[in-house]
Structure 1
């Protein structure tokens, strides 16, 4: 059997992975204890019934924390589902796009494009704006929202290309938002959305569960037979327990949300995330060896993408990352370059460690 290491004996790793992403150390410690012996029960949380009073309390607390952190108004339901955000690409139109109706989508990257593709299986989809013409390096702003569309779908943060909506969108129709990679990173006015969904593994918890906030009066109007597992009403009626839920991912997500609340909530997250972004972006602007890829006004605070201006230095820079304990900086395979994912749990120390090696590279090769 391999030796169990004390976390204090392990070299500090600065985890810039885009997802699954960094989580708070405090959460890891609590989760590790729950794996061995949940709250003195003698059982691991992972072997407890999902209908036990212990796990029902976990689910209730997770839902309550979502409502608290985002100030969810009356009339909305919070769900914890399975299948990732990719399943939501299907569930949204299946439930919200009426037969013979149409939906509007804004194409700001790979995940927005995939969401629109799935929606076309259920009705007409109008791509009312796209940033594909400039390799998705900006958020479109000049477009008209059709008032006869059932909903407008947006992807609030684009992990691959590093762009982000910086404020809630105002629209004359229902807005559906994929917030998988920036949920809880800033305050959100939930009342401006009909449905919000987010895979946990970017900024809320581990992979395995997907959080949905849906305005209940939007449901039951699509005019089609909806498969049981794809029907939001199924999961509302069964309180996210129609089938066995992903117990451990929901528990760790609950712990992460509690950590966020204890530290000041989404206002705290917004302030610290902006600080991290400012530190790194200032370096990108001043260091001649690096260049950001997204337009500054739309540059993601969560996923800051950049390239080397001298590609021949890539091997040297990668070696410096390894030496400094910097992990997960490589850009998405479809675009290359680098991507610094700075989710809520990351401290400014990790960003400063990255800036330090960027400056060292410039000093050596300037």
Structure 2
């Protein structure tokens, strides 16, 4: 293949990481000027800021009546594990796993909680499991949108309203990018550092009335670490759902989260954020359609994500080489882009087929994705030529 000329125009913000994601357009450290630094999070002012974060989350997500929000430790991972450790056990569990993080939850359900009545519904990268086989008389664990595979459930219609078990959803790569009917979800988790471009280490847990009732009526047979604990000898720690945190939060991070929510409100709210992700991802999918050396990792167009767009190499000449050669091409492509400051952090996730992964969430600007595309062409041509000649 002929080598295209080196592009001249670079993305203004060449940050396409799938987590931590790029911050909102126009962000500067001045956004944190009102952060409650040097003060206790337990002070009156500290509690007010944390409570405000919870209240604004409830409003922006348009939570159904009775749903509650908590700020918890450990990003989305901590929030999802917290839900597992507190709520699982009284029913059998179905775990859906089609990306790395779904398999993480599956591993911990098996190896750490040692659940006796556990079913797994798995699929290889690029595909969904058979959603029709899920048994909703049991508790269900799943990721709405696979961060590592770029494969998302198309909607929530497969989840019945009259389910008996709890549906526990890792939505960190879906929220603000995919349409989620929260009435279908009993526990939803996400992090500030994903779709909102916030800072890491803090997770959000949204609980339905059914999940809160389970929390009040059930005590798991295993020890629950203090960082995961939502109950004490008096029952549910209700103040956790009013902004009181289990451990010490960063008030800088809290202020940054509030700034991100203000930006979302300024866009027009949740629907506007989802629209931006769809516009952004369409630019990439249109380019993929006309580019012979790359293909979407997601096999079904109806299940391709609008936030992490995952791609695999599809060049017949390269595909006839070994996976190690394809990985070398990926690494060199990424190195070239980073050396030119034209695009950062776009390699496929480890364990996925060699290719690329570009975040297209709401905090990314469409023009930056458009500017990235010629650089992808240039870097791929150079990387492939070096691999073939080598």
| 1:129/1:241 CA distance change after superposition, 3 Å | closer
Structure 1 residue 203 corresponds to structure 2 residue 192: no
Q: What is the CA–CA distance in structure 1 between the aligned matches of 2:177 and 2:188, rounded to whole Å?
A: 14
Q: Which residue does the alignment assign to 1:48? A: 39
Please point out which of 298, 308, 311 is paired with 1:306. 311
Which residue is 2:159 aligned to? 170
Matched, 1:251 2:255: yes
Shift of 1:125: 4.8
Candidates 96, 104, 125, aligned match of 2:94 = 104
TM-score normalized with structure 1 length: 0.84
User: Can you list the C-alpha shifts for 1:241-266, whole angstroms capped at 9, x where unaligned?
Assistant: 34323322222112111111111111
Supply the distance in 1 between the matched residues of 2:338 and 2:104 (Cα, whole angstroms): 33
Give ranges in structure 1 of 5+ residues lacking alignment. 1-10, 39-44
**1:343 corresponding residue in structure 2:** 361
Q: Identify the residue that residue 356 of structure 1 maps to in structure 2.
A: 374
Matched-pair contact (CA < 8 Å) for 1:94–1:222? no
CA RMSD between the two structures: 2.8
What do the CA deviations read for 1:295-336 (whole angstroms, capped 9, x no partner)?
Answer: 122221111111342458653675256436211111223223
**Is the contact between residue 85 and residue 197 of structure 1 (CA under 8 Å) also seen in structure 2?**
yes
Please tell me whether the aligned partners of residues 162 and 303 of structure 1 are also in contact (alpha carbons under 8 angstroms): yes
Other-structure match for 1:218: 214
For 1:7, the equivalent position in structure 2 comes to none
**Aligned CA distance change for structure 1 residues 66 and 108 (closer, same or farther; 3 Å):** same
Q: What is the CA distance between 1:111 and its match in structure 2?
A: 0.7
Q: Is the 8 A contact 1:21 1:203 kept in 2?
A: yes
Of 52, 70, 92, which residue of structure 2 is paired with 1:79? 70
Change (3 A) 1:104 1:252: same
1:248 to 1:363, Cα distance in 2 relative to 1, 3 A? closer
Q: 2: CA distance between counterparts of 1:301 and 1:88?
A: 23
1:232 is aligned to 230
Which residue pairs with 1:148 in the alignment? Answer: 137
Q: TM-score, normalised by structure 2?
A: 0.79
SS in 2 for 1:124: coil
Task: Please point out which of 161, 169, 184 is paired with 2:176.
Answer: 184
Q: 1:305 to 1:241 in 2, by over 3 A?
A: closer
Contact 1:83 1:210 (8 Å CA) reproduced: yes
